[in-house]
């Protein structure tokens, strides 16, 4: 039986929204001659336009910045959510960035602890603090509270956390916004995945043969629903441009309500939710639920009834056994931001300020088409490319859509 989880408290959404608002204050990362991880994954569909591109707020400054002191060593420790570092999703992407840093940056070593459930978040963080890790990276919105508390309790310990950002709210400030604690020791890594998901929704609407596509999430939290928002809005934009009526099942943007498994680990839920969407007419499914989505991919492969849009990483790489049913993936390039944060600590002994990944700076994107490339016509691909350029140039989906409206209209 599918459970539809209602919206969580307004505070969580408010904090996530605040992180997006302050993203303009993002600090540049340290330059490195090492190629950023995952650079071959971003296709032309996410390339920023030429001379009209929005400025890259995360672009590295020139390479004259200081090199790390000779012999400097940095121990980087990652605390994963329940999916673990082999989840083919966000935990794996973060770990890939750490692995590349260890391989390509002299003096870096890495370790990880996997959280079996929420009760292990803080103990795992504390274990790494006691071990003397130079940088602790926590992965996933659900670890935000424990990471924040640990950062306040340990102001000399460097942290980065994925899908959340520090700011003038508890525990760093009181209810009136008066600062109680500095948060320079904690870097937020957030991503405008709605931009890339918008492209995926537009593409899916142009590919569907049944006139319906679908999505579901793991838990109703902002880093999940931002994918679903973008996907559904992309379908709506396709309908507006092409005069079609493709349905987007599984998520209502206005009501912020839809289909959620309530977990990020049940492959069986992934199968059953995909089956439900298919039974309601969808032939393309976007599962935003970490490893749960692998169950959806298995269902599509076993039945031949659907194709999959992966999330976080390129599923053609991380879940290659399902390549035959993967249309594309919405890339959340956590690996790049993790790599750059580690380099900041190595060179500058600082984590850096908020990182906000966008289409314009390559923090998000679409994975290259592979086995199902023949489903996407040259005309549809050109439309997706143009939309990607428009979003990058205008800075957001809404600004791009507004730019399409005549000044007198």
Q: Where are the domains of the chain?
A: 73-191+333-363, 194-332+377-403
- Which among 114, 160, 172, 167 is positioned nearest to 133, based on CA atoms? 160
Starting from the edge strand earliest in sequence, which strands make up the sheet with 307-312, in order? 247-249, 212-217, 284-288, 307-312, 326-332, 364-366
pLDDT band at 21; cut points 50, 70, 90: very low
Q: What is the CATH number of domain 73-191+333-363?
A: 3.40.50.2300
| Average pLDDT for 290-315 | 97
Q: Identify the pLDDT of residue 40.
A: 32
Q: How many CB atoms lie within 10 A of CB 61?
A: 10
pTM for this prediction: 0.83
Q: Which CATH superfamily is domain 194-332+377-403 in?
A: Response regulator (3.40.50.2300)
Q: Scan for tokens 């043969």, then name that residue.
A: 209
Q: Which of 47-61, 162-176, 327-341, 360-374 has the lowest mean pLDDT?
A: 47-61
pLDDT at 55: 35
Same fold, 73-191+333-363 and 194-332+377-403: yes
Do 267 and 299 form a contact (C-beta atoms < 8 A)? no
- Axis crossing angle, helix 378-394 with helix 193-207, rounded to the nearest 10: 160
Tokens of 246: 């493709």
More confident residue, 12 or 254: 254
Q: Mark out the alpha helices in 117-176 (DSSP H runs).
A: 121-131, 144-153
Question: pLDDT by residue (tens digit) across 153-196?
Answer: 999 999 999 998 888 878 888 888 888 887 899 999 999 999 99
Neighbours of 287 (CB within 10 A): 32
Is the pLDDT reported for residue 1 higher than 70?
A: no
String of DSSP letters for 86-113: TSSSHHHHHHHHHHHHHHHSTTEEEEEE
Mean pLDDT of the chain: 86
Task: Give the containing element (helix H, strand E) for 252.
Answer: strand 251-252
**In the prediction, which pLDDT does 353 show?**
87
Torsion of Cα atoms, 368 then 205 then 220 then 23, to 10°: 60
Which pLDDT band, with edges at 50, 70 and 90, does 83 fall under? confident
Beta bridge partners of 249: 214
19 pLDDT exceeds 50? no
Which pairs from 177-181 meet CB under 8 Å and 24+ separation? Answer: 181/152, 181/155
pLDDT, tens only, 42-66: 333 333 333 333 333 333 333 344 6
- Is 356 exposed, middle or buried (CB count within 10 Å of its CB: 0-12, 13-18, 19+)? buried
Structure tokens at 214: 């679908």
Radius of gyration of the chain (CA): 20
């Amino acid at each position: 039986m599918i459970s539809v989880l209602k919206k969580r408290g307004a505070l969580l959404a408010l904090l996530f929204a605040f992180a997006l608002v302050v993203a303009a204050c993002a600090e540049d990362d340290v330059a490195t001659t090492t190629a950023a991880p995952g650079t071959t994954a971003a296709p032309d569909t996410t390339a920023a336009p030429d001379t009209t591109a929005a400025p890259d707020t995360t672009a590295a400054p020139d390479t004259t910045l200081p090199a790390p002191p000779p012999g400097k060593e940095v121990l980087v420790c990652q605390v994963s959510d329940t999916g673990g570092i082999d989840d083919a999703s966000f935990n794996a992407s973060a770990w890939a960035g750490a692995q590349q840093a260890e391989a390509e940056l002299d003096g870096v070593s890495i370790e990880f602890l996997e959280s079996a459930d929420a009760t292990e978040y803080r103990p795992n963080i504390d274990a790494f603090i006691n071990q003397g890790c130079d940088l602790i990276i926590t992965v996933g919105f659900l670890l935000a509270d424990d990471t924040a508390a640990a950062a306040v309790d340990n102001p000399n310990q460097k942290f980065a956390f994925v899908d959340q950002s520090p700011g003038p709210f508890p525990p760093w400030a009181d209810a009136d916004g008066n600062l109680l604690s500095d948060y320079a020791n904690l870097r937020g890594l957030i991503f405008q995945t709605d931009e890339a998901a918008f492209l995926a929704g537009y593409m899916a609407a142009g590919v569907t043969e049944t006139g319906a596509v679908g999505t579901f999430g793991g838990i109703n939290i902002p880093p999940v629903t931002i994918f679903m928002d973008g996907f559904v809005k992309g379908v709506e934009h396709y309908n507006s441009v092409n005069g079609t009526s493709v349905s987007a099942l599984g998520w209502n943007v206005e009501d912020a309500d839809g289909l959620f498994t309530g977990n990020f680990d049940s492959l069986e839920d992934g199968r059953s939710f995909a089956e439900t969407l298919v039974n309601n007419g969808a032939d393309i499914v976007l599962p935003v639920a970490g490893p749960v989505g692998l169950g959806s991919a298995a269902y599509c492969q076993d039945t031949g009834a659907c194709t999959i849009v992966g999330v976080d990483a390129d599923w053609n790489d991380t879940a290659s056994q399902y390549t035959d049913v993967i249309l594309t993936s919405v890339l959340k390039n956590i690996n790049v931001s993790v790599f750059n944060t580690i380099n900041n600590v190595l060179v500058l002994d600082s984590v850096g300020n908020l990182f906000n990944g966008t289409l314009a700076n390559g923090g998000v994107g679409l994975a290259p088409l592979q086995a199902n490339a023949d489903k996407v016509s040259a005309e549809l691909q050109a439309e997706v490319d143009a939309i990607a350029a428009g979003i990058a140039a205008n800075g957001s989906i809404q600004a791009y859509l507004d730019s399409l409206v005549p000044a007198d209209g």
